[in-house]
Every structure is written in structure tokens, then in C-alpha cells.
Amino acid sequence: MRGAVMYAPGDVRVEDRPDPRIEQPTDAIIRLTATCVCGSDLWPYRGVEKLEGPTPMGHEYVGIVEEVGNEVTALKPGQFVVGSFWASDNTCANCRNGYQSGCIHRVLMGTIGTQSEYARIPLADGTLVATPEVPSAELIPSYLAASDVLGTGWFGVVAAEAGPGKTVAVVGDGAVGLLAILAAKQLGAERIIAFSRHADRQKLATEFGATDIVTERGDEGVARIKDLTDGLGAHSVVEAVGTQESMLQAMHSTRPGGNVGFVGVAHDVNLPGMDLFMSLVRLHGGPAPVRRFLPDLLDLIGNRTIDPGKVFDLDLPLEQAAEGYKAMDERRAIKTLLRP
């Protein structure tokens, strides 16, 4: 089969890779309908994360079940399925507690690489959620968004305990930040403040439900949030970048007793203890347990309540994956969808 492999920073190639096969009786093989490039794929692309040799890429996926292992009981060939970037058994204590990204048998899909024609999905019964029928083409981008960026933004908002009567601020205007805005709106937040300085992203933020746009960053951004909230700070802040500046901006934008939901993969972040101590905020985040939210999200997409697929503003054949990465790196695209 064909699949994307990163050889070095800036060097992504689509080449022949071995066809996946059932390795464990709990595996399924899916034929990818669509996959995409994640903001986190840009860390190695930009050389911030080290590569250990040529690496198959991708961890977001929707597709059709081709084959299942002997112990798979909930799925059958021909079904359209969505899964998260963690494969999880969905039965262990951590899964039952809603933390499938902390599943004691979890497998990181990024180690498998789903920017490809086919993929092996471990723990298929726990990992994959099937739609009632194979969806029509225009819904594919939204289902694909559910695989990571929508579920991650949604978790950020839940972790930040946003809801009715709350003012929510979102740090980061990438796909996750934008979809956190959509999630905050769905979950009933009263006021949604987007930090963004890019016109195209501001526009999408507003479409998704942002009521205010703040273009300042760092301490100036924090001061603007205070201005907008009687000097107190937001009730809930979603952090969707993962840098030291963005984490501190999120913490300092939150009122005492308020909540920071952080979902940006941390890079060189070291939180000063006294700063955290004096802020009196609640911090929760990490790799999103997307599986917790998938059934509800697939319903909301299927009945056309939400349209998270709008974050894909570049749609390419898998063979042009290199251009998909480049466009995101250069911020010409928010998110690239790839079609095998």
C-alpha cells in the first residue's frame, strides 16, 4: 500500500509500505476513507521533536472495516468507523473512568501511521465506533475531525469546566483551538473569547461561536481578558498550543478557582510552582480521551448539529502529503485532509 513517511524535518514522502495484517485477535484492518495532518505532526517536521529514522506518519483516521480478528465481536467488514489516536480496550478501570487515553493497554496510533491506504487498529472493539450507515461524502471531513482535533478541543473545554453562565477563553487558533470554540458553544458557554491574530481563523472562530476576539498575546493578552471580565479573569481557559508562553497566558487569564484545560502537547514547558500556587486555578489536561466523547460527537455530526469539518481548508490526494505538511507549516492552511 501507499503511505506517508517522514525522513527528516521538512522531508515527507509517500511511498510503498507493507500492507497491514491482523497481528492480534483483537485487531481490525480498515481501508482509510480519509486521514489528515495534525498540528503535532509539525513538531518533528520543524525539527523540534527528534526523529529516529524514517517514520510512518499519521494518527487520525476514518474508514471502512476490511477484516477483523477472531476476538472482535462488535464490528464487521463494511462498517464505517471512527477511532482516536489512542487505541484503548475501553474496559479497564481507567477507560471506565473516562480516561481511555490512560488505558492500561493503550497503543499510540502514531506508532502505526495512518496517513496510508490501510491501517491496523489494535483493540478494535474498544477503539472504533461505527456509524449507523456509511455516511455521505460531505460528512467525511467532520467525522475525520472527530478522530482527534474535535475530540481534543472538546476535552479541553470539559477539562476547563466550561458551561452555561461561564466566560471561556481559548489560547491557540489552530484546529484544536477553533474546535474548542465550537465545543464551548455546544456546551452552553455564555461568552467565548478567542485569542487570534489571523483574519481567516478569526472568521472561523466567529462562525464556531466566538463572541470576542483578542489579538494581543502574553501579558498584554492577559490584561485584555481581565478588562473583559471585571478584572477577574475568565472562568475557563482552554490552552491549545503547548508552549511556556501559552501555558502562562492561560493560567494568568483564569480567575481564582477557575479552570485551565490544557491540550496542547507540552514542549519545553516548566510551570513555576509559586506562580501556579498563587494563581489558585485548577489545571487539567493531557492527551484527550477522545473515545469518551466519540459516540456523542458522531451523533452531533450525523444529525448535522455541528460541522467541525470546516477546519479542513486544504483537501489533497494522499500522494501530495508533502504539500499538505508544507502548507500547514507555512500557515497557508489550518488543516490538511488527505485522501488515499
In angstroms, give the least distance from the CB of 211 to its own copies: 20
113 binds its own copies per the rule CB under 8 A: no
User: Distance between CA 36 and CA 66 in Å, rounded?
Assistant: 20
For its own copies, the closer of residues 120 and 292 by Cβ is 292
Piece of the chain touching its own copies by CB under 8 A; list 15-23, 29-37, 257-265, 303-311 = 257-265
Q: 136-141 contacts: CB < 8 A, separation 24 or more?
A: 139/301, 139/302, 139/309, 140/33, 140/34, 140/62, 140/309, 141/34, 141/308, 141/309, 141/310, 141/312, 141/315, 141/337
3 state DSSP class of 142: helix
265 binds its own copies per the rule CB under 8 A: yes
136 binds its own copies per the rule CB under 8 A: no
Give the number of residues in contact with its own copies, rule: CB under 8 A: 42
Amino acid at 152: T
* Residues numbered 271-310 forming contacts with its own copies, rule: CB under 8 A: 271-274, 276-287, 289
List, in order, residues 6 or more apart from 153 with CB less than 8 Å away: 175, 176, 177, 178, 179, 180, 181, 182, 183, 238, 240, 263
User: Distance between CA 256 and CA 278 in Å, rounded?
Assistant: 9
In angstroms, give the least distance from the CB of 284 to its own copies: 4
Query: What is the SS3 string spanning 94-105?
Result: HHHCCCHHHCCC
9 binds its own copies per the rule CB under 8 A: no
39 binds its own copies per the rule CB under 8 A: no
270 binds its own copies per the rule CB under 8 A: yes
231 binds its own copies per the rule CB under 8 A: yes
Among 257, 296, 299, 317, binds its own copies (CB under 8 A): 257
In angstroms, give the least distance from the CB of 188 to its own copies: 19
Q: Which residues bind its own copies (CB under 8 A)?
A: 93-94, 97-99, 101-102, 104, 159, 230-232, 242, 244, 247, 255-257, 262, 265-274, 276-287, 289
